[in-house]
Structure 1
Amino acid sequence: MSDLSKLREMVEEEAERRRQLREQISFEECSEIKLAGELFREKGIEEVANELGQSLDETRNLIKRYAVLVNSPTENVPAMAMLRGVKYYGGQVSLEELSEEADSREEVEEEIRDFVAVTLDENDIESIEVDSVEIPEDAVYPEIMTETVRKVQQSLSSISPPPALYTGLADVSARISETVTNLQPAFESLSRAISRILPEITRAIEGGVSNFDSPKDYDPDRVRFDESAEAIAVSSLERFVEQIEREEVPELRSYIERLEFALEHHSDEQYVAPIFVFISVQDGLMDWLCRQDGVTPDDQSRFGDDIYRWDTKRDTLARLYEGWYDVDTGKFIQNLDAFYQHRNAIMHGDPLAYFDRNIATISLLFLDATLYTVIEYADQNVE
């Protein structure tokens, strides 16, 4: 059985386990736990029992389960079930309010049943002492979610493109810092900001990779340079280098030293060496994609090495390209093909070759889009 088949089987088994647990609890029981717990926040257990018309033992059992749902929420359910479960119990949000964000009330009820069933199954209810139990005022989220938001916040704060493009992300970064224990508003803000900013990033990249004429018509002094495109290119490569360091693919890790060298010289506004690195590494990555994907070589060198010609490498990249920042495949490949004259002039010592800041940014953007595709391919296909 392949690793992918094993993974699929594990996912299906986990889904079936959740379904079986969910069938053991009704939504009426879930809402009864909520009611008892919210009363207990304000009243003693005897008052709660009288108000519910339950015995003290029955009331204690409800409060124990409420305490577990608030203090120890599971992370082993789908993200939306976890978020809504935490809001329903720890955040004291009503079913009606949660249903406004969902397709239907029934959907939310099922998610809450999932959350309750799995959380209770993972915890020892009987060990809880009601007399000493503490119910926090604010919602408690699983550590995996709070850590995710911290990482998102750190990532956003590390981005340094021009403020005009990233004002929204800065606002969200601050919002997440303030609300890391109340994740749903943070996620909603992040989603809204990304939906506003992603098109701007896409436009900046598409403008960046098309910002050139043919070598004979190119004039660096007349180019309208886009600092946003450069900032996206540089910050993306820095992140890709970190990802490559985590990949168990020796051929990719061998590029790290070269890429770090190129980034250092680029930051010093020395563009000749970085341009050579960006273009040559991208060419090597395109070659790697061909070999990994079983593409038939076009020829052999006089040393017996397989050779993939430009058209083959370009077409393979186009087929495997994953849509970096939603940049259209056609626009990416067409501009990459049009840039070939510049690449050829640079790499083969043509007197009419340019090594300015704009050409460096274009070369880096093409490299980034290729690296994105390569890393995605490695994650999915390389053991």
Structure 2
Amino acid sequence: MKWTYEGREYLESTDDTDLNTIAERIEEGSQSFAEESDDPEIEYPYKGLHLLLSSLDGLITWLCENDSEIEPNHYNDGEEPVYLGRQKKRALEEWYDEHAIFGVEDDEGEAFKQKWDAFWNHRHRIMHGSPDAYYDENIGVATLFFVGLTAHVVKERYDELN
């Protein structure tokens, strides 16, 4: 939660209106997730987790839009660029590599990249309505972690560009 909070603050410190909007969504999602997790009558933290996953997707899209080597797959009716999931995943993995994120291993020596892949695949199933995808606290905590981590990477990229 601390990394997510710090990441949100980093985004708020930019002059980028999209990043500021995403920061607001992260704040609302974090608060909602915490409230839903504390309420024993709520089985799944839908609202908070959805807002956080949406924020993560927004941050990844921002990275794609600000990378001259990544071309959108197409443009939507609103003339906004659309990046496919594989483009987003590859882009974020490249930025994580650049910031030495994937060099981390857990106590059992499992590479962080494997955990990222498992999270990405589950996130993809949630976003595309798979009946096997689920919202729970474990996914929520992982999402908080990746939102915070990605916000830090976005801030680094923002600073490089400005």
> SS in structure 1 opposite 2:24?
helix
What is the Cα deviation at residue 333 of structure 1? Answer: 4.4
* Equivalent position of 1:282 in the other structure: 56
Counterpart of 1:241 in structure 2 is: 8
Find 1:306's aligned residue among 81, 105, 114.
Answer: 81
**Cα drift, residue 353 of structure 1:** 2.5
* C-alpha distance after superposition, 1:107-139 (max 9, x if no partner): xxxxxxxxxxxxxxxxxxxxxxxxxxxxxxxxx
- Determine helix, strand or coil for the equivalent of 1:279: helix
8 Å contact kept, 1:320–1:373: yes
Alignment-mate amino acid for residue 287 of structure 1: T
Distance 1:357 1:297 in 2: 33
Aligned residues of 2:64 and 2:88 also touching (Cα < 8 A): yes
Alignment CA distance shift 1:372-1:331 (3 Å): farther
1: CA distance, partners of 2:7 / 2:120? 24
> Which of 15, 18, 31 in structure 2 is aligned with 1:251?
18
Asked if 2 retains the 8 angstrom alpha-carbon contact of 1:282 and 1:366, the reply is: yes
Distance 1:319 1:353, change over 3 A: closer
Residue 311 to residue 284, structure 1, CA distance change in 2 (3 Å): same
Aligned partners of 1:238, 1:347: CA distance in 2, in Å?
A: 23
Which residue of structure 2 lines up, in the alignment, with residue 273 of structure 1?
Answer: 47
Shift of 1:282: 1.1
Distance 1:274 1:304, change over 3 A: same
Q: TM-score w.r.t. structure 2 length?
A: 0.77
Higher relative contact order (CA 8 A, sep 6+): 2
Q: Over the residues paired in the alignment, what is the CA RMSD in angstroms?
A: 2.5
- Cross-structure match for 1:146: none
Give the structure 2 partner of residue 297 of structure 1: 72
CA spacing shift, 1:324–1:336, aligned 2, 3 Å: closer
**Structure 2 portions without partners, runs of 5+:** none
State whether residues 297 and 307 of structure 1, in contact with CA within 8 Å, keep that contact through their aligned partners in structure 2: yes
Q: Residue 337 and residue 260 in structure 1: after superposition, are their counterparts in 2 closer, same or farther (change >3 A)?
A: same
Partners of 2:13 and 2:79 in 1: CA distance: 32
Q: CA deviation at 1:326?
A: 6.1
- C-alpha displacement of 1:303: 4.9
Question: Superposed, which structure 2 residues align to 1:44-193 within 5 Å?
Answer: none
> Match for residue 159 of structure 1?
none
Q: How many residues are matched?
A: 148
Name the residue aligned to 2:135. Answer: 355
Q: Answer whether contact 2:33 2:48 (CA < 8 A) is retained.
A: yes
Partner deviation per Cα, 1:13-56 (whole Å, 9 max, x = no partner):
xxxxxxxxxxxxxxxxxxxxxxxxxxxxxxxxxxxxxxxxxxxx
| Superimposed CA distance per residue, residues 208-245 of structure 1 (whole angstroms, 9 cap, x where no aligned partner) | xxxxxxxxxxxxxxxxxxxxxxxxxx011111122222
Higher gyration radius (CA): 1
